[in-house]
Amino acid sequence: MQKVSFFKSIHVKLVLIYVLLIVIALQIIGIYFSKELEDSLKNNFQDSILQRMELVQYSIREEMIKERNETASTSMPPTESGIDAILREFSTDDINEIRVIDSRNRIIATSEDENHSMVGQRANDDVVRKAMSAETIQDNISLDKQTMQRVWVLAAPITETVAPNGEVLGAIYIESDIEKVFEQMSEINRIFAAGIAVSLVITIILGILVARTITRPISDMRKQAQAMSKGNFSRKVRVYGTDEIGQLAIAFNHLTNRLQESQSTTEAERRKLASVLSNMTDGVIATDRKGKIILINDPALSLLHDTRESTLNRPIASVLGLDQEYSFEDLIHMKEAISLDFSTSDAPYILRANFSVIQKETGFVNGLITVLHDITEQEKIDMERREFVANVSHELRTPLTTMRSYLEALADGAWQDKDIAPTFLNVTQTETERMIRLVNDLLQLSKMDSQEYELNFEFVEFNKFFTHIIDRFEMSKSKNVEFLRLLPESSYFVDIDTDKLTQVMDNIISNSLKYSPDGGNIRFGVTVHENMLRVMISDDGMGIPKENVGRIFDRFYRVDRARARSMGGTGLGLAIAREMIEAHGGRIWAESEEGVGTTIFFTLPFELDGAGDWE
Ligand code: ATP
Ligand code: MG
């Protein structure tokens, strides 16, 4: 948040407003006050001068009338000693000078000794002339050129009678020191200004303090709001009082609490959602309303073999590899799941994508959620099941078709032929046995698939058990094949279901016999590897092509179908063997080279001597 500059702060504004109001109020009071004071001081001064002037005027008139009468009889120039005496009597501090002027406009007396030389000269003051001609009192304020001080000049006519229109005998000229009034005034103004200055300082200090009580909570709240925007809810605004600002602070703290609560709920929800998203096995991808990926969980990334950096903000259709067939608009309206086939020639890899739209109540599409699920296993099982059904029906149909043609031939009259009939019946019998064997094998496998079988464990010495089986094959063998026994001296005790293991070994040995040439060898070996007994049955037969070696343990798998069937196999023997060995806790595998021979290995857990549990 921007910092409030000092001069723009409410604090300064409040103080400024406060001070300005006080200044304006004091100014108005001051102007009014000093104007009134000045007027009243001036009036008082002038009134006192005027009063004295009237007295002087009266005295001088009397004196003049008296003198005129005297001069009329003696025709002597009047003596001014009487007037001088009056002037001296009336002379005071505030009156600078009083002059008396006769009707011929000559100065006949002055109170100021320094100006005595002026006596007898003509008076050339305008006010005097005006006063005499207008017979009224004249006045003005002028500047004394010598002292540079303001003086109030007053001129009053002296008439014979008090009433107007009497003969003008002369005039009085009074120069009074009004500067004193002005000096007094400016002294008062100075005191007033000092008072204003002092009161301003006090009001500024008070203003700052008062404004602080308002602005401090506000600036506290401002700081709090700034902290909140950074996610810090631990601060609280101090409540200074119960006024509006105090209530605002309380409301603010309340708001902070509520915000903190909802923030923590949102945070908890977010964490919950994040942990749900990352812990679920399905991949989840969310997009914005334009189809750009905004969220992708870890399972989705591992399902797509992609990184978060390279998928975020990319269009969903292109990340799913659907951009050739579908637009984002199509995916929004997609009601059914889509299978995404990422299979390579080496391994199948199929994902199923379900789409659901995030929509507002108004119908506005906010985004798309895609859920990805790995259905490779499911597809594989489905495929195996289909293949299995196809295999079973094929395996059953072949002997049935054969039997039908033989039975038809018999029905057509071959039964009467003593040479053919037994052969034909023999074939149908073989085929029936084959079918029974097939169905038995299938039953056994299905039992093993649904874990419905029980193993009857017996504690036996393996070499003895193995030798017994080899002996049986050696006695009944129809081919010229030599059996080589590479069995160790020591005894190895194993906990096995002898019937089941006999079946496994029968199948392995009969395979070796089946695929061995005349005069070949079959080697039987037992060794110990990694705490397991390793059994080996090896032949010099035709071998198995390298790419098919791993598959001979699959159900119905035969390297060469036609040849295997002619040899009576169903392709289930090794599949059963694998299930059995694994049920005993062992492993079975084959090594083979075409034209050289095949070796089948399997392992079994064992004990070195007879010190088993039964002792
Ligand atoms: P079944 O054992 O059910 O009568 P089968 O022998 O054909 O029929 P498996 O024993 O499962 O079936 O063997 C599967 C296939 O593996 C055989 O068809 C054969 O092609 C191949 N195979 C197994 N053992 C050998 C071997 N010793 N030499 C060459 N090929 C073998
Ligand atoms: Mg077999």
Q: Quick check: 434 and 426 in contact, CB under 8 A?
A: no
Tokens 């029980």 belong to which residue?
A: 454
pLDDT digits (tens, 9 = 90+) for 545-567: 998 898 999 988 888 766 666 66
Query: What pLDDT was estimated at residue 64?
Result: 81
Stretches where the chain sits below pLDDT 50 are 76, 612-615
| Residue 515 in contact with ligand 1 by CB distance below 6 A | yes
Q: Is the CB of 444 under 6 A from ligand 1?
A: no
**How far is 599 from 230, CA to CA, in rounded Å?**
72
Nearest-CA residue for ligand 1 atom 4 is 569
Backbone angles phi, psi at 527, to 5 degrees: -135, 175
Q: Is the CB of 571 under 6 A from ligand 1?
A: yes
7 C-beta neighbours (distance < 10 Å), count: 8
- Any ligand 1 atom below 6 A from CB of 542: yes
Residue with token string 């501090």: 93
Answer yes or no: is the C-beta of 599 below 6 A from any ligand 1 atom.
no
Our mutation pick for probing the ligand 1 site, out of 398, 435, 504, 511, counting the most ligand atoms within 8 A of Cβ, is 511
Q: Residue 592 Cα, ligand 1 centroid: separation in angstroms?
A: 12
The ligand with the least distance to the CA atom of 556 is 1
What spacing in Å lies between the alpha carbon of 235 and ligand 1's midpoint?
80
CB of 373 closer than 8 Å to CB of 352: yes
Tokens of 275: 């942990």
* Helix (H) or strand (E) run with residue 176 in it: strand 168-176
Cα gap 64→108, rounded to integer Å:
11
Non-local CB neighbours of 452 within 8 Å, separated by 6+ positions: none
Residue 71 Cα to ligand 2 middle (Å): 186
Give per-residue burial for 48-67: e unless 16+ CB within 10 Å, then b.
ebbebbeebbebbbebbeeb
Closest CA to 533 of 611, 607, 604, 458: 604
The Å distance, Cα 525 to ligand 1 centre, comes to 20
Please identify, by atom number, the ligand 1 atom nearest to the C-alpha of residue 512: 27
Q: Which atom of ligand 1 is nearest to the CA of 515?
A: 28
Cβ atoms of 559 and 544 within 8 Å: the answer is yes
Environment class of 181 (CB within 10 Å of its CB; exposed 0-12, middle 13-18, buried 19+): buried
CA of 510 to the centre of ligand 2 (A): 6
C-alpha distances out from residue 234 to 151, 231, 261, 292, 465, Å:
78, 9, 12, 37, 80
Rg (CA), the chain: 68
Assess whether the C-beta atom of 577 lies below 6 angstroms from ligand 1. no
CB count within 10 Å of CB 178 equals 22
Listing DSSP states for 232-301 in one string gives: -----PPP--SSHHHHHHHHHHHHHHHHHHHHHHHHHHHHHHHHHHHHSSSEEEEE-TTSBEEEE-HHHH
**Mapping DSSP to helix (H, G, I), strand (E, B) and coil, where does residue 486 land?**
strand
What's the start-to-end Cα distance of the chain, in Å?
Answer: 86
Q: Which of 503, 514, 552 to mutate for ligand 1's pocket (most ligand atoms within 8 Å of CB)? A: 552
According to the model, what pLDDT value does residue 363 have?
Answer: 85
What is the per-residue burial (b if ≥16 Cβ within 10 Å, else e) of 329-350?
Answer: eebbebeeebebeeeeeeeebb
- Summarised one tens digit per residue, pLDDT across range 235-250 is 888 888 888 888 888 8
CA–CA distance, 398 with 434 (Å, rounded to integer): 11
pLDDT at 3: 65
Q: Which residue has the tokens 């189809």?
A: 291
Distance of alpha carbon 203 from alpha carbon 18, whole angstroms? 8
Distance 506 CA to ligand 1 centre (A): 12
SS3 (DSSP) at 494: strand
Please spell the DSSP secondary structure of 203-217, one letter per residue: HHHHHHHHHHHHHHH
Ligand 2 centroid to residue 160 C-alpha, Å: 175
**pLDDT of the residue at 60:** 85
DSSP 548: G
Any idea which ligand is nearest the CA of 561?
A: 1
Find all residues with CB under 8 Å of 182, minimum gap 6, and list them. Answer: 150
Kindly write down the DSSP assignment for every residue of 154-167, as one continuous string. Answer: EEEEEESSSSTTSP
Whose alpha carbon is nearest atom 18 of ligand 1? 558
d(CA 239, CA 137): 75
Pocket flag, ligand 1, residue 368 (CB < 6 Å): no
pLDDT for res 612: 47
Q: Which residues of 443-455 are buried (b: 16+ CB within 10 A; e: fewer)?
A: ebbeebeeeeeee
Ligand at minimal distance from the CA of 558 is 1
Provide the whole-model pTM.
Answer: 0.52
CA 524 / ligand 1 centre spacing (Å) = 18
- Nearest Cα residue to atom 24 of ligand 1: 511
CA distance 500 to 483: 23
Atom of ligand 1 at shortest distance to CA of 539?
A: 27
Quote the ligand 2 centre to 558 CA distance (angstroms). 9
Our answer on whether the CB atom of 67 is closer than 6 Å to any ligand 1 atom is no
Choosing from 574, 598, 601 the residue with most ligand 1 atoms within 8 A of its CB, the one to mutate for a pocket test is: 574
Alpha-helical (H) ranges within 75-111 are 81-90
Smallest-distance ligand from the CA of 445: 1
Q: Is 511 in the pocket of ligand 1 (CB under 6 A)?
A: yes
- Ligand 1, atom 16, lies closest to the CA of 552
505 lines ligand 1 (CB under 6 A): no
296 CA distance to ligand 2 middle (Å): 51
CA geometry: angle at 284 spanning 282 and 286, to 5°?
A: 170
Instruction: Say yes or no: CB of residue 509 within 6 Å of ligand 1.
Output: no
